[in-house]
Structure formats: C-alpha cells, structure tokens
Amino acid sequence: MTARAQIGVTGLAVMGRNLARNFARHGYTVAVHNRSYGKTQSLIEEAGDEGDFVPSESMADFVASLERPRKVVIMVKAGAATDAVIDELLPLLEDGDIVVDAGNAHFPDTIRREEALRERGLHFVGTGVSGGEEGALLGPSIMPGGTRESYESLGPILEAISAKVDGTPCCTYVGPGGAGHFVKMVHNGIEYADMQLIAEAYDLLKRGLGATAAEIGQIFAEWNTGDLESFLIEITADVLQHVDAETGSAFVDIVLDQAEQKGTGRWTVQNGLDLGVPITGIAEATFARALSGGVPQREAARGTLPAHATDLQVTDRAAFIEDVRQALYASKVVAYSQGFDQIAAASAEHGWDVDRGAMARIWRGGCIIRARFLNRITEAYERDQQLPLLLADEYFTDAVGNGLPAWRRVVAQAAAAGIPAPAFSSSLAYYDGVRADRLPAALIQAQRDFFGAHTYRRTDREGTFHTLWSGDRTEQEA
Ligand code: NBP
C-alpha cells in the first residue's frame, strides 16, 4: 500500500461520506474506510469520479495509505463508537500523527481523549462541524480544537473545505483540548434559543393577527431582508409557506406540536449551570421543548387550568409586526450575549483563550445559525477583545435599546393574553436584571445567612460577616 493520501476519513455514513467527497472535490487524495465495507464500496461506486479516493477494507490498510504525519478524520456515532475507533487506530499510528474527531462529541470526552492521545505522542483534534449533511458536502462551519501545532498542517485542509463568506473561511483554530467541541455545543445551544424565539414570534403573529401560516411566512421573508437576515429566518419563511400535499393544509398546522431535543441543548444548559453562567435563553428554549413533549402534564392542564386572559387586540397590524420583529431581534441578541459569556467562562476555566469574535466570524456561513448580525458581533469583539458583556458593546446597546419599548409591549401583551413567550420574556428579565443598579439578591444573601450561616458581604466595607440570628443578632466578622 503506497502512502499517498493527504487525509483519511473513517466512518462513511451520511456525514463522513459527504466530508470525504468535499475533501476530494477540493483536490485532496482521500483515504476512505468504514467498519462495514459496503459503505466504502457505495461511496466509490456513486462518487468515485468526483476526485481521488483510496478505499481500504481494513483499518491497517487505511492507515498505511496515508502520508505522514497522518491525518485521520473519525466521523462515527458519537460516544462508545468513537472510543472503539480510536482503540483500533492507536497501535497503527506513529508519533506526530493527527486524529480528528469530527463527530458530535461531548467536550469532556474530548478533553479525556486529547490527554490520552497526547501521552501517546499523537495529536487529537476534537472538531465541531456544523451544517449537517449538506454543509459537510458543500462547506460546513468547522471548529477545530487540539494543539496549535496540529492546526499548522491540518488547518489549511479544513479551511479549504469549509464554507466561505466574503472569501473568508468559516474555520479557524478554536483552542486546545476540548475547546472545539465546546464551542460547537454552545453553537447548538444558541441554535435552540434562536429557533424558540422564532417560534414565539410566529405564535404571537398568528394569534395577534389571526394570519395564516403563509401570510406569516411572507412576514418572515420580509424580515429576512433586514437585520434579522439568517438561515433560520429564511427556512422559517419557507416552512410556513409550505402546503401539506395530502390535506392541502398549511404544513406547520398538521405537524404534531411536540418538539424533540437530541442532547446538545441539554449539555449546554447543564454546563451553564456548572459554570454559573445565566444562559436563560438557551435554558428556556430547552425547557420549552421539554414542556411541549410533556404529554401527560399537557393533557391534565388542557381545558382545566383557567386562563383569565384578555384577547390580544391588535389595532395597528404593521405596528404590531414591527414590535414583534424588534422583540425578536433584542431577545436574540440576549441569547447570543449569554452564549458568548458561556464561552468566555469555559475558556477562562480551561485556559483555552478562545477568540469570541473569531467564533462569530466562522459561524457566518455553513452552519445553522449563520446570520448577517454575526458580523456585528465580530466587530464588537474586535473593538474590545475582553468585552465583559456583548450587550454592553455600543452597537448592541443602541440596537437593543431602540427596540426596548416594543420588546416590553410584546412581553406585556403576551402575558396579558396568556400566550407563552418564555424566551422573549426571560430574555427581557435577564436584560433588566443585568442592567439593574441593585438586585434583590441582597435579601437572598440575608436569608442564607439566617438559616445556614452562609455569611454575606456589606456594601459599606470590606470583609465577610455573619449575624447571630438566633442569638442577640449582633454581627460578627467571619
Ligand atoms: P451515525 O452517527 O449514524 O453513525 C454511523 C457510523 O458510525 C457508521 O459509519 C457506522 O459504521 C459507524 N460506527 C458505529 Br454506529 N459504531 C461503530 C464502531 N463501534 N466502530 C466503528 N464504526 C462504528 O453517522 P452520521 O449521521 O454520519 O454522523 C456521524 C457523526 O456526525 C456523529 O457524531 C453525529 O453526531 C455527527 N453529526 C453531525 C451533524 C452535523 O450537523 N454536524 C449532523 C449529523 C451528524 P457501520 O456503517 O459499520 O455501521
């Protein structure tokens, strides 16, 4: 077996197959392998003429067909399958070889694998890949972690196959260890929030205007020409205008209203709790999906729980649509601001040094949350690399501030009308919380000290204190 392939892909289900084709279409000689040989054969039969593939039936031949330092991309089911493939690869690899896990690994697994492979003299690059099947073939957004050294040889290949926006690749080095998969996880969390916010906007428009799905689809299409321009708004317009062939009804009206969640939203929320970062937009979005899927609870409540709500009265349709648009934009900025806080917190905790502006840049194309306003986020972090809060950047302070009256109106109207808008309203509550001069957390600290002697700090002098609540209520320095 001549070692002539520049990169190899093992795991040739939809994602790996398309990634391999993408490498080949960009002129790379690609070694391909799959546990069961059938997928390798079908790739060669169906797409073999798209470029230079080197198929192998055994892992040993696959590894032997790669130029050194070898670059092996693993694209198998995340979890145990990834460990199984790594175990099979390990005895075949040599110092300096690069193993890329491009599946949807949970970042703690990536940290563990990176440490284990580093001890064996290998580079392990946990890489977020976003964009699904189509992205993998035509250009995904790629978020590689691992060592910077590995990026020197791997980076140009990944950049070549990534999506491009204004000629700039949607791929950059994210940071060491699990940084790549972490950033991908937060990306998915933000995607949850974005989708929930869009769904809430749709619901408000539907109930407020009494409009059909197709009419609302047209509103989204119009929004897609402005600040909200994004893949998700674009497909929303499309989905809402789609008609079910069987019934002739609007497609969205015949889809069961129970949303699923595959895990990355949950991981993001769990990690937000671990880090103590209030990612309320992502959490509300994840819980809203869980609520929709809580069938027994919904059945028990439907028709039983009183609403005491007043109908949403819309007198000026255009003004209402504009209010909802502004509320959507402002809530979306909050969700992104929170997601970037989470990245900053993890980066500080793990010493990853993630450049948040660069993350916004590589999300502009190829991925599900690609959007025009990501440019504004990159600019904000270029103005101040250490920006403590995206909302506090001058551009976003203005953009959100201008929409604030509309945002408040929409949240108030939704509450009065009994329309659930958890992501809109919790984002507004976060906004008001983070900008508050003083929060009722002071009372919570006092309560904690009362029942648990948890101590408190004072506004007027340094130190930590405890009041003898069950004694003479004098204060002691703790
Ligand atoms: P799947 O997640 O369906 O996995 C199927 C592949 O894993 C097949 O190649 C299968 O080999 C292989 N595999 C399994 Br299962 N167990 C194995 C084992 N013990 N040893 C070796 N190979 C094993 O494939 P996919 O849908 O193409 O997704 C691949 C990765 O990409 C996953 O991590 C997934 O989460 C991620 N993904 C990402 C996106 C995105 O938008 N970024 C979308 C979809 C998936 P076989 O053919 O022999 O059974």
The pLDDT tens digits of the residues spanning 369-383 come to: 999 899 999 999 999
Closest residue by Cα to atom 2, ligand 1, is: 77
What are the tens digits of pLDDT across the range 396-413?
999 999 999 999 999 999
pLDDT band at 367 (very low <50, low <70, confident <90, very high): very high
Whether the predicted pLDDT of 338 surpasses 90: yes
Give distance in angstroms: CA of 305 to centre of ligand 1.
44
- Which pairing describes strands 141-144 and 53-55: parallel, antiparallel, or unpaired? unpaired
Q: How do residues 129-178 score in pLDDT, each as one tens digit?
A: 999 999 999 999 999 999 999 999 999 999 999 999 999 999 999 999 99
261 pLDDT more than 90: no
- What percent of the chain stands above pLDDT 70? 100
Report pLDDT for 170.
98
Ligand 1 atom 4, closest CA: 77
Catalytic residue among 39, 71, 114, 184: 184
Measured from the CB, is residue 331 less than 6 Å from ligand 1? no
pLDDT in tens, 175-228: 999 999 999 999 999 999 999 999 999 999 999 999 999 999 999 999 999 999
Q: Is the pLDDT of residue 256 over 90?
A: yes
- Mean pLDDT for 2-7 is 94
The answer to whether the CB of 176 falls within 8 A of the CB of 34 is no
Local confidence band at 263 (pLDDT 50, 70, 90 cut-offs): confident
Residue 5: CB within 6 Å of ligand 1? no
- Give the pLDDT band (50/70/90) at residue 260: confident
Kindly state if the Cβ of 34 falls inside 6 Å of ligand 1. yes
| Pairing verdict, β 71-74 and 98-101 | parallel
pLDDT at residue 24 tops 80: yes
Whether pLDDT at 422 is above 90: yes
Q: For a ligand 1 pocket test, name from 9, 36, 76 the mutation site with the most ligand atoms within 8 angstroms of its C-beta.
A: 76
Cα of 78 vs centre of ligand 1, distance in Å, is 7
- Would the CB of 75 count as within 6 Å of ligand 1? yes
pLDDT for the residue 1: 78
Whose Cα sits closest to atom 43 in ligand 1? 132
User: Tell me, what's the pLDDT at 101?
Assistant: 98
Ligand 1 geometric centre to CA of 375 (Å): 33
77 has a pLDDT exceeding 90: yes
Percentage, residues of the chain above pLDDT 90: 98
Q: Is the CB of 328 under 6 A from ligand 1?
A: no
Evaluate if residue 361 carries a pLDDT over 80: yes
85 CB within 6 A, ligand 1: yes
Instruction: Give the whole-angstrom CA distance, residue 52 versus residue 2.
Output: 14
pLDDT recorded at residue 310? 95
Q: Across all residues in the chain, what is the average pLDDT?
A: 97
The active-site residue, picked from 114, 159, 191, 284, is 191
Closest CA to 123 of 152, 107, 147: 147
**Is 191 annotated in the active site?**
yes
Decide if pLDDT at 234 tops 90.
Answer: yes
